[in-house]
Structure 1
């Protein structure tokens, strides 16, 4: 059976959400510059100081004018391999897994397509930070970003519950349970089966009990802090390597994750940016890209930086989104929503805002972005 785009989205969404929240916290309110030469780099600066510098990979671009997505591997602008090479890896993965959306050069755009293709590309390449940069003329360039600073810290119950909450609001997740199983495997979070068929996630600072309906959707999330009672015993057993009736899947070596129990995260490749460039105004017939660009980053990247925490556990609910929201408390939910990054806007200033998925509830200041090289279509 071939892999579908939805399968890849399910597997990537929650881990991507947590990484983007962390990334957004690092680059909040910073200006950005990107260079698409043979030595590509993406740099974020604040008050003249570099806060993050990393390597950008051109994944693809979306045009609101043409209402299409164009994969970077099509490379109509003759960018060097250092810029578009990773997009070729995505195409090869798509061919091997029979995912047509990853092997078709140009696709008709819908509201969520760019994000969903980016999530699939993250699963294919193991690069987990992305940045949508506005290039002007209705074009947004989607970048995957490498930088050591993006490595995640130890898993924490409230941060993870927020990642679930936010992830479910970003795009369609068809199999919540499969998505969570993929997330805990990537993150190295021990889990235990519950008597009612639910799943308990275990952390050093607490636990989260998840219930599912007949369609494998989250029906309730009950968060408990601090870690105590049966959950504390289960976490201690998992940390000691004692087999459990339902241990997480074998964990790949990913940024910020441990194999069985939370452990200090090793630095992982993540976002960063740099390189000013001369600005140019793309004409209506061209799709802008960048050999070098500058702008400023929003207060949050593709998922918001972590909001303030409360210690109250969630009351049972029947709605997946509501249950995760209540698990972190109303004030947390509001702060998280407010922190969520907005999609880049297409204005005359070429503002660039990294937004993992949906617009934030509060408007963020628009960020400038200048691209000196144009896409050739």
Structure 2
């Protein structure tokens, strides 16, 4: 039986829940620098609010020279097996589901949605897809020298999202609409609700979201895009 799951589906599945995690990461770290020792398997953030990750996973790197993404498991430099294990799991998932962006050792920038040309954008796309597969929602991509960006999934208890806050939920949705490339808006809304523990009910061209202090109606236009969000909300923090 042909599997219908696509790379674009993974991007939609990750879009909003990933954005909320990245916003939270910025709040947790504030001004910071980062350092990784692959051999020692140590990833740390230094600065005003330092953190040493409890675990991290090297996904790969996006290089401007060849204009391609190279998965960690395929890098000829070689990395400790534990560091590249998640990337190898993504390869296996890609092979199982026929998703070449995950299964191929090297992926040209031009083969990705929107044909991005900047390494940080490419690293972002590959990381988003990885999040949807692994359920690890916090990432970091940094300068690896020569314009190359290395992408990681990072773990720490402080990176977990706080309880649902209605104001934050609406901020995430509005920021995603303004700045993210979304394909299937209904899938995006459903996936976010599922991962964030919100209730969601679709009825024709509307979706109703519900949660602590939140009741929102999302209207879709004739092309299935989010046209309007009407929310009644109160912040869990009293805002």
Map of 1:125 onto structure 2: 134
Map of 1:208 onto structure 2: 216
Q: Is the 8 A contact 1:26 1:51 kept in 2?
A: no
Residues 70/206 of structure 1: CA separation in 2 closer, same or farther (3 Å cut)? same
Q: Which runs of 4+ in 1 moved over 6 A?
A: none
- Counterpart mapping for 1:28-107 below 5 A: 28-37=30-39, 39-47=40-48, 50-107=50-107
Map of 1:355 onto structure 2: none
Task: State the Cα distance separating 1:212 from its structure 2 match.
Answer: 0.6
Map of 1:164 onto structure 2: 173
Q: Among 7, 10, 20, which residue is 1:8 paired with?
A: 10
Q: C-alpha separation between the residues in 1 aligned to 2:234 and 2:144?
A: 46
Deviations 1:208-252 (A, max 9, x none): 22101122210001122339xxxxxxxxxxxxxxxxxxxxxxxxx
Asked which structure has the greater RCO (Cα within 8 Å, sep 6+), the reply is 1
Structure with higher helix content: 2
Deviations 1:64-115 (A, max 9, x none): 2321111111031111111111100010111111101111111222244332
Task: State the Cα distance separating 1:168 from its structure 2 match.
Answer: 3.1
- Counterpart mapping for 1:236-255 below 5 A: none
SS at match of 1:149: helix
Q: C-alpha separation between the residues in 2 aligned to 1:71 and 1:5?
A: 15
Map of 2:112 onto structure 1: none
Q: Is the 8 A contact 1:130 1:144 kept in 2?
A: yes
Residues 168/105 of structure 1: CA separation in 2 closer, same or farther (3 Å cut)? farther
Task: State the Cα distance separating 1:153 from its structure 2 match.
Answer: 1.3
Structure with higher strand content: 2
Map of 1:328 onto structure 2: none
Deviations 1:150-178 (A, max 9, x none): 11111122211222222234442111111
Structure number, greater radius of gyration = 1
Q: C-alpha separation between the residues in 1 aligned to 2:234 and 2:30?
A: 30
Gaps of 5+ in 1: 228-261, 263-308, 312-377
Q: C-alpha separation between the residues in 2 aligned to 1:150 and 1:139?
A: 25
Gaps of 5+ in 2: 110-115
Counting matched residue pairs gives 228
Deviations 1:313-351 (A, max 9, x none): xxxxxxxxxxxxxxxxxxxxxxxxxxxxxxxxxxxxxxx
TM-score by length of 2: 0.87
Q: Is the 8 A contact 1:175 1:217 kept in 2?
A: yes
Task: State the Cα distance separating 1:56 from its structure 2 match.
Answer: 2.0
Residues 163/226 of structure 1: CA separation in 2 closer, same or farther (3 Å cut)? closer
Task: State the Cα distance separating 1:51 from its structure 2 match.
Answer: 3.5
Map of 2:195 onto structure 1: 186
Q: C-alpha separation between the residues in 2 aligned to 1:43 and 1:7?
A: 32
Q: Is the 8 A contact 2:62 2:122 kept in 1?
A: no
Q: C-alpha separation between the residues in 2 aligned to 1:63 and 1:172?
A: 22
Q: Among 136, 141, 145, which residue is 2:145 paired with?
A: 136
